[in-house]
């Protein structure tokens, strides 16, 4: 059982980390409590379905087109819908909720309510200590690790990354130093949507795509961001690992019926016992 | 006050306004503003289809009901009236289902109700049937509680009939036909793998209790949320239990995802149970062939097989008109509408009491088999001599084979290719 927990816990953690890092950047740097974040996950999956299944493009091309398109949609939404509401947190919250519900309805109108199948990026399976693991799941872990490492290098080693950190620490001081915070905000929106879409695409071959698929990932992303601490990438990764493994352990040791309850229980406990999360600032600040 | 106004404006003018007002009210009634006009309802047999638009069962029910209405109308209607289908969305929610039911009865003035795609909605709706004095032909729900309520309080619930299965009959078919077949192949260790939903409450316990009666043992039971997206941990647990056969009970689960994950893992057990979303000739394409090896219980005109003389024509007509094979709820809804029409013809009336008596005497050969309602539960009888259950299997090349009963069999059981005999 230990091998299964290690393997499936890693896969779940990888997906959650990709989802939550984007949301953490969005809240911590762009200062947007984005309830439409799960929508990017869903749009990514439908994007690759459209590209690979409907337009018969190669899967790699469909992947690239889908993440780019979703990133652009997020940038456009920021300019048209969110920027005019800057400073009004309540209005932004409501606006992002409206956007999430609207996208669900639109996707349902276009693709219908039933799940749409996406082909596997890689076929086959690997036997790890006697446990049969489909290659697609191992691909999720590998891609997530590469993307997160790439993001960390981008933020830590490039000038643009430095500007992102500056805006995160003190937007006004960053502006005085000549950093265009508006552009940084747009970049954050693009990156957050890119990461969420990539997560949605990678899981779509084994989880299918459906219009309502955005809700639980959103709940889990928020749980991770709150547990990890707002604006902390490493906190998000740690929290994603905690959630991914907790769910897997509960599923194996107790009942898979209780899996979805784990995120809610963690959220409840963190808000009451440690609102600042593991490595970040207090919720509500 | 009124007297003073009459004096001020002149009583003649007021009377003219009052008269015009009355005319407007009458005209609005005739035109059906705020509800269907009574005169229109008298020229039609109005069937209200209460279903869930988002579910495949709902869409199939709408298609099949309209198809039945079209055929009845081509034959001159029922007792000289054209059949018209009115649809309302329950949104798979009992509260919204009741609102939709009220709209069908009060606004659309339907004469009978049909449909239902979720047991919870029909159970809630049953409490309104006596109040509205209206028959409900359930065509897409399987909770045993529905027939149980009719048996327990006939006076209150006699309005409810059902052409689709009762989960208890299904449970018997799973045990006696499907799992007995697996035991015959030499597989005796079973794991029950059930989504947690109203329709199969009781069914899990029934399987646990009765699998030993056919020579099997239950080595694991796993319940999961129908919203579950990742089945890999569940399959790993079943594999670790040593089960040779998992018995899935699926209705609201994303079955495509379920089978794709099962196939990708090459899970070391067979699947033989009840998969409602998989009751479709296109399930093979939907899963990209991942359904290979699945054994399922089916009925009705799901497979193009000569169950009755009406099965193949229905299957072909449905596929031609709706560009796809019929779903499980299609033939039960089609038969449900036809049975209602047949009862009205025999009763020579659309009145509810006469309809109930006629429905209780139904013996109608439909697309699924012979429809005869149980006197106590008002459930259609599912048995070899009435509506037969079919044990099916997806086999290589996308062939949906019938394994049992022998008179309809098109193949014998085959293991998934990654599992040894």
pLDDT bucket at B2, cuts 50 / 70 / 90: very low
Mean pLDDT of B248-270: 91
Beta carbons of A99 and A207 less than 8 angstroms apart: no
Q: Is residue B92 classed as helix, strand or coil in its secondary structure?
A: coil
Q: What is the pLDDT of residues B197-225, one digit of tens each?
A: 877 878 899 999 999 999 999 999 998 88
Nearest-angstrom CA–CA distance, B116 and B57: 9
Locate all alpha helices (DSSP H) within chain A, ordered by sequence.
Answer: 2-28, 37-49, 59-77, 89-111, 135-157, 159-169, 171-176, 181-207, 215-228, 233-253, 259-273
What is the reported pLDDT for B416? 94
Beta carbons of A25 and A17 less than 8 angstroms apart: no
* Buried-state track B194-229, b at ≥16 Cβ within 10 A, e below 16: bbbbbbbeebbebbeebbeebebebbbbbbbbebbb
Residue A73: CB atoms within 10 Å: 21
Contact list, B232 vs chain A (CB under 8 Å): 8, 11, 134, 137, 206
The mean of the pLDDT values for chain A is: 88
Q: What is the pTM of this model?
A: 0.73
Interface mutation target, options B260, B261, B266, chain A, most CBs of A under 10 Å: B260
Residue A87: CB atoms within 10 Å: 7
**Which pair of tokens denotes residue B334?**
């089609």
Of A120, A125, A256, the CB nearest to B233: A256
Contact list, B195 vs chain A (CB under 8 Å): none
Nearest-angstrom CA–CA distance, B414 and B187: 13
What is the reported pLDDT for B16? 52
Separation in Å, CA of A1 to nearest CA in chain B: 8
- Residues 6+ away with beta carbon under 8 Å from A106: none
Cβ contact B237–A256 (<8 Å): yes
Among A207, A155, A164, which residue's Cα sits nearest to residue A41? A207
Higher pLDDT: A280 or B293? It is: B293
Contact list, B288 vs chain A (CB under 8 Å): 117, 119
Nearest-angstrom CA–CA distance, B315 and B322: 11
Cβ contact A257–B223 (<8 Å): yes
Mean pLDDT of B297-303: 89
Contact B169/A at CB under 8 A? no
Cβ contact B265–A4 (<8 Å): no
Nearest-angstrom CA–CA distance, A165 and A159: 10
Mean pLDDT of B380-385: 93
- Environment class of A162 (CB within 10 Å of its CB; exposed 0-12, middle 13-18, buried 19+): middle
Q: What is the pLDDT of residues B86-112, one digit of tens each?
A: 999 998 889 999 999 999 999 999 999
**Which pair of tokens denotes residue B322?**
């709706």
Q: Angle CA(A208)–CA(A223)–CA(A191) in degrees, nearest 5? A: 65
Q: What is the pLDDT of residues B127-140, one digit of tens each?
A: 999 999 999 999 99
Q: How far is CA A210 from CA A256, B2, B186, B226, in A?
A: 21, 63, 39, 14
A129-134 contacts at long range (C-beta below 8 A, 24 or more positions apart): A129/A3, A130/A3, A131/A3, A131/A4, A131/A7, A131/B236, A132/B239, A132/B265, A132/B266, A132/B267, A132/B268, A133/A7, A133/B265, A134/A206, A134/B232, A134/B261, A134/B264, A134/B265
What is the reported pLDDT for A73? 95
Nearest-angstrom CA–CA distance, B300 and A129: 45
**Which pair of tokens denotes residue A179?**
């950093």
Higher pLDDT: B40 or A49? It is: A49
């Amino acid at each position: 059982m230990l091998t299964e927990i290690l393997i499936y816990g890693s896969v779940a953690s990888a997906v959650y980390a990709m989802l939550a890092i984007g949301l953490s950047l969005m809240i911590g740097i762009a200062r947007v409590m984005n309830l439409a974040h799960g929508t990017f996950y869903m749009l990514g999956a439908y994007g690759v379905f459209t590209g690979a299944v409907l337009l018969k493009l190669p899967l790699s091309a469909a992947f690239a087109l889908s993440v780019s398109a979703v990133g652009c949609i997020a940038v456009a939404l920021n300019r048209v819908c969110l920027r005019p509401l800057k400073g009004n947190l309540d209005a932004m919250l409501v606006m992002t909720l409206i956007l999430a519900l609207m996208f669900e309805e639109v996707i349902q109108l276009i693709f219908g309510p039933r799940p749409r199948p996406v082909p596997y990026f890689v076929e086959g399976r690997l036997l790890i200590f006697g446990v049969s693991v489909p290659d697609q799941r191992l691909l999720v872990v590998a891609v997530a690790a590469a993307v997160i490492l790439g993001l960390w290098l981008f933020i830590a080693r490039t000038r643009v990354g430095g500007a992102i950190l500056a805006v995160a620490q003190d937007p006004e001081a960053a502006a005085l130093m000549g950093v265009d915070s508006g552009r940084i905000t747009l970049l954050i929106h693009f990156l957050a949507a890119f990461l969420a879409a990539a997560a949605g695409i990678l899981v779509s071959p084994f989880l299918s795509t459906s219009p309502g698929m955005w809700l639980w990932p959103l709940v889990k992303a928020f749980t991770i961001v709150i547990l990890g601490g707002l604006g902390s990438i490493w906190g998000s990764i740690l929290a994603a690992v905690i959630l991914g493994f907790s769910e897997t352990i509960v599923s194996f040791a107790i009942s898979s019926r209780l899996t979805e309850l784990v995120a809610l229980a963690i959220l409840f406990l963190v808000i009451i016992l440690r609102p600042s999360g593991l490595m970040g600032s207090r919720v509500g600040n | 006050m009124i007297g003073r106004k009459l004096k001020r404006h002149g009583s003649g003018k007021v009377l003219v306004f009052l008269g015009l007002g009355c005319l407007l009210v009458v005209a609005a009634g005739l035109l059906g503003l705020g509800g269907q006009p009574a005169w229109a309802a008298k020229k039609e047999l109005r069937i209200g289809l209460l279903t869930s638009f988002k579910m495949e069962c709902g869409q199939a029910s709408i298609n099949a009901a309209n198809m039945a209405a079209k055929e009845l109308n081509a034959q001159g209607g029922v007792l000289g009236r054209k059949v018209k289908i009115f649809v309302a969305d329950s949104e798979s929610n009992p509260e919204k289902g009741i609102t939709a039911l009220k709209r069908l009865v009060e606004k659309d003035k339907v004469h009978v109700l049909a449909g239902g795609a979720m047991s919870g909605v029909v159970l809630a709706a049953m409490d309104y049937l006596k109040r509205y004095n209206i028959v409900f032909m359930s065509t897409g729900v399987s909770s045993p509680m529905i027939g149980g309520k009719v048996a327990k309080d006939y006076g209150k619930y006699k309005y409810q009939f059902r052409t689709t299965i009762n989960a208890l009959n299904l449970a018997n078919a799973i045990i006696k036909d499907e799992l007995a077949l697996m035991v015959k192949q030499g597989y005796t260790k079973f794991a029950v793998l059930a989504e947690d939903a109203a329709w199969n409450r009781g069914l899990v316990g029934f399987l646990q209790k009765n699998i030993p009666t056919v020579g099997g043992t239950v080595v694991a039971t796993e319940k999961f949320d129908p919203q579950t997206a990742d089945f890999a941990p569940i399959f790993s647990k079943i594999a670790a239990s040593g089960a040779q056969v998992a018995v899935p009970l699926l209705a609201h689960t994303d079955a495509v995802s379920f089978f794709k994950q099962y196939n990708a893992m090459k899970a070391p057990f067979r699947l033989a149970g009840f998969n409602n979303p998989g009751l479709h000739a296109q399930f093979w394409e939907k899963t990209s062939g991942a359904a290979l090896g699945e054994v399922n219980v089916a009925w009705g005109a799901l497979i193009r097989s000569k169950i009755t003389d009406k099965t193949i024509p229905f299957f072909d007509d449905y596929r031609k008109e709706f560009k796809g094979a019929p779903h499980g709820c299609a033939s039960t809804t089609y038969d449900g509408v036809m049975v209602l029409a047949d009862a009205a013809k025999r009763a020579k009336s659309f009145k509810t009491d006469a309809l109930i008596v006629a429905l209780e005497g139904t013996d109608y050969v439909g697309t699924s088999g012979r429809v005869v309602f149980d006197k106590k539960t008002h459930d259609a009888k599912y048995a070899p001599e009435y509506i037969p259950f079919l044990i099916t299997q997806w086999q290589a090349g996308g062939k949906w084979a019938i394994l049992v009963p022998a008179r309809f069999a098109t193949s014998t059981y085959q293991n998934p290719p990654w599992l040894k005999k």
